[in-house]
Amino acid sequence: MVASEIATIFFLFNAVLRGSLVQSQGLQRGFYDSSCPDAEDIVRSTVEKYYNNDATIAPGLLRLHFHDCFVQGCDASVLISGASSERSAPQNFGLRGFEVIDDAKSQLESTCPGVVSCADILALAARDSVDLTGGPSWSVPLGRRDGRISSAADAKALPSPAEPVSVQRQKFADQGMSDHDLVTLVGAHTIGKTDCAFVRYRLYNFTATGNADPSISPAFLPQLRSLCPPNGDPARRVALDRDGAGSFDAAFFKNVRDGNAALESDQRLWGDDATQGVVQKYAGNIRGLFGLRFTYEFPKAMVSLGGVAVKTGRQGEIRRKCSRFN
């Protein structure tokens, strides 16, 4: 297949994505076309401004949207500040991008006050982050309203890096999502980094006999150990996608297949019968083409995620500031 044919396939995929991902759970495409026609442009320009200054903000915003949707649904509950709020939960330590959302919200309140929800800003910022890192773009169904509950105790619904795949699958099922959605959304780890604190336990005495996690590739283990020595800085950053943390592509799944995943939870996707087939599908065997299917499926999974337990109509509120209830 020549380059022009591949380019044509990408064009057709984008056309399908933009035209078909329109409605989800009572949300709709173009929700602000009349009430705040510049809403999406304002969010995009804000994300782009921060991204141009620090490209690592992109995975931060993507993760922020994910963490929001898994607790109380996609209602911006993770943005509320306070001693017992969801944002303060241990599961949410290290979340980034709050200032980007606050900046976009401030501009939107000046342009069309009381119209655009913080939850919708989160969904748009996640989409724009993927696009800016070379991934696909898609039409984001909008119309979410912001929730009035934010509790640290509810963050237990979030998947954990040390949990077995069976637990993660159940947590996704609890949100109405499938095993296929699980693998596809974990593909977001194609961008971003994690702390040595979440990796080092795999590298030393994992089996209680001094050995490392046997699922780690022998060729990859020395690289991880050099980054995360036994008494090293637990906050040192490790790429989630070996040698490609800044570019949104399907190479992450080749790393999972080959034993080169930094997180145990990512690597376990290859060892589980329910998820291995999806990993293999995305990893592919045809040079240069393995990323196309993932590029098509990821936006669909993001639309599913963005529709989890949304509040619409007269539910919830439209916050004036994203960090506090009205």
* CB 229 within 8 Å of CB 185: no
Domain CATH for 64: 1.10.520.10
Is 46 a member of any domain?
yes
| Beta-carbon contacts of residue 201 (< 8 Å; ≥ 6 apart) | none
* Residues 285 and 192 occupy one common structural domain: yes
- 295 is written with which tokens? 């590029």
Mean pLDDT of 316-326: 98
Q: Which residues contact residue 292 at a Cβ distance below 8 angstroms, ignoring those fewer than 6 apart?
A: 6, 9, 10, 13
| 134/20 Cα distance (integer angstroms) | 21
Where in the sequence is the domain holding 254, given as residue range(s)?
165-306
**Region 170-179 average pLDDT:** 96
- Flag whether 17 is in a domain: no
Report pLDDT for 26: 85
Name the one residue in this structure whose structure tokens are 């060892």. Answer: 271
| Residue at 23 is within a domain | no
Q: Is the pLDDT of residue 185 over 60?
A: yes
Q: 188 and 86: one domain?
A: no
Catalytic positions are 67
Q: What is the dihedral of CA 149, 155, 157, 158, to 10 degrees?
A: 130
Let me know if residue 182 belongs to a domain. yes
Do 224 and 276 fall into the same domain? Answer: yes
Q: Using the 8-state DSSP alphabet, how is residue 211 labeled?
A: P
- Nearest CA-CA partner of 112 in 175, 184, 40: 40
41 annotated ligand binder: no
pLDDT band with cut points at 50, 70 and 90 for residue 4? very low
Say whether 190 counts as a known binding-site residue.
yes
Domain shared by 71 and 147, yes or no: yes
User: Is 35 one of the annotated binding-site residues?
Assistant: no
Q: Is 266 annotated as a binding residue?
A: no
Examine the domain organization and report whether 136 and 215 are in the same domain: no
Please report which confidence band the pLDDT of residue 13 belongs to, taking 50, 70 and 90 as the band edges: very low
Mean pLDDT in residue range 126-133: 97
Asked if residue 114 and residue 63 are part of one domain, the reply reads yes
> Does residue 149 sit in the same domain as residue 269?
no
Among 157, 177, 198, residue at a domain's last position: 157
Quick one: pLDDT at residue 286? 56
Q: Burial level of 309, CB count in 10 A (0-12/13-18/19+)? A: middle
Residues 176 and 263 in one domain: yes
The token pair at 127 is 């989409």
Q: Is residue 323 part of a domain?
A: no
At 39, the pLDDT band (50, 70, 90 cuts) reads very high
Residue 74 lies in a domain: yes
Whether residue 174 is found in the same domain as residue 145: no
177/294 same-domain check: yes
For residue range 300-318, what is the model confidence (pLDDT) as tens digits?
Answer: 999 999 999 999 999 999 9
For residue 31, tell me if it sits in a domain.
no
Residue 65 in marked binding region? no
* pLDDT classification of 207: cutoffs 50, 70, 90: confident
Q: Is residue 219 packed enough to be buried (19+ CB in 10 Å), middle (13-18) or exposed (0-12)?
A: exposed
> How many domains are there within the chain?
2
Q: Residue 232 is encoded by which pair of tokens?
A: 């090293």
Average pLDDT, rounded, for the chain: 91
Q: Are residues 98 and 135 in the same domain?
A: yes
Mean pLDDT lowest among 57-61, 167-171, 192-196, 285-289: 285-289
